[in-house]
Amino acid sequence: MMDDLFSGLEAAAPKRVEMADGAWLLRHHALDVSSTLLHAVDQISSAAPFRHMVTPGGFSMSVAMTNCGPFGWVTDRRGYRYQTTDPESGKPWPAMPQSFQSLAESAARDAGYPDFIPNACLINRYEPGAKMSLHQDKDEKDFTNPIVSVSLGLPATFQFGGMNRTDPVRKHVLSHGDVVVWGGPSRLFFHGIMPLKDGIHDAAGRARINLTFRHAAV
């Protein structure tokens, strides 16, 4: 009976949540292709393994990262940037799977951005306790394109603020298959992930996988 109650509440929850002007939470948008996406992540990380990158200040990030697509986002003591090669191997990043591209473009269309074509996908792996502090995505130089963020695995609490770090933040619980898209007036809003709670997900194990699609203008 309790399962029926939760199922009813989930079914009644809105599938599209407007978080701010130009920002949308699309619940379960990626659920039907989640297995395909996770399989592709395994293949990508076999070629370009997850690693804990270092910030310009010398701090190791709690989130493990890798990339796919023509451009990859990296950070080290030299700064934040996009580049076409994996700094650990010197090889190009793995190609972006068609399943990734199709999902990112369909989510952007549903959120009101029909012209979005991603050329970079940052893949984050959160393990229990890992977090992402409030930050802006501003290394792309051209902010006319939105950000598309896909959640897989364990649930996480997403913080979405405003143009200033000190602006109030709203918290949204992101579940397996949820997609967040933000652009236009909210493109440079601060956002982050609170420390991941421990748990086991049937498909992703003891982790949350986040796919962040961008159009990198370099």
Query: Would you say residue 42 lies in a domain?
Result: yes
What's the pLDDT score for residue 13?
A: 61
What's the pLDDT score for residue 164?
A: 97
pLDDT digits (tens, 9 = 90+) for 29-77: 999 999 999 999 999 999 999 999 999 999 999 999 999 999 999 999 9
What's the pLDDT score for residue 119?
A: 98
What's the pLDDT score for residue 124?
A: 98
**By C-alpha distance, which of 145, 139, 72 is closest to 107?**
145
pLDDT above 90 coverage of the chain, percent: 92
Query: Would you say residue 5 lies in a domain?
Result: no
Find how far residue 112's CA is from the centre of its chain.
18
Query: Would you say residue 160 lies in a domain?
Result: yes
CA distance 162 to 158: 13
- Tokens 């012209």 correspond to 115
CA distance 68 to 209: 14
Q: What average pLDDT score do residues 189-205 get?
A: 98
What is the number of structural domains in the chain?
A: 1
Q: Do residues 142 and 206 lie in contact, with contact meaning Cβ atoms separated by under 8 Å?
A: no
Q: What average pLDDT score do residues 80-89 get?
A: 97
What's the pLDDT score for residue 6?
A: 41
Query: Would you say residue 145 lies in a domain?
Result: yes
- The CATH number of the domain holding residue 79 is 2.60.120.590
Find how far residue 47's CA is from the centre of its chain.
20
> Binding site membership for Fe cation: which residues?
135, 137, 191
**Start-end of H helices in 51-209:** 98-110
> Binding site membership for substrate: which residues?
73, 80-82, 139, 165
For the chain, percent helix, then strand, then coil, each to nearest 5?
A: 20, 35, 45
- Beta-carbon contacts of 178 under 8 Å, excluding residues fewer than 6 positions away, are 25, 26, 27, 28, 29, 30, 150, 151
**By C-alpha distance, which of 136, 131, 187 is closest to 157?**
131
**Which of the four pLDDT bands, split at 50, 70 and 90, describes residue 217?**
confident
Residue 188 backbone phi and psi in degrees, to 5: -105, 25
Q: What average pLDDT score do residues 128-157 get?
A: 97
What's the pLDDT score for residue 12?
A: 52
Query: Would you say residue 119 lies in a domain?
Result: yes
Q: Rounded to two decimals, what is the model's pTM?
A: 0.93
What's the pLDDT score for residue 85?
A: 98
Query: Would you say residue 8 lies in a domain?
Result: no
> Binding site membership for 2-oxoglutarate: which residues?
124-126, 208-214
> Binding site membership: which residues?
73, 80-82, 124-126, 135, 137, 139, 165, 191, 208-214
Query: Would you say residue 2 lies in a domain?
Result: no
Query: Would you say residue 78 lies in a domain?
Result: yes
- Residue range of the domain that includes 70: 15-214
pLDDT digits (tens, 9 = 90+) for 149-176: 999 999 999 999 999 999 999 999 999 9
Residue 101 pLDDT more than 70? yes
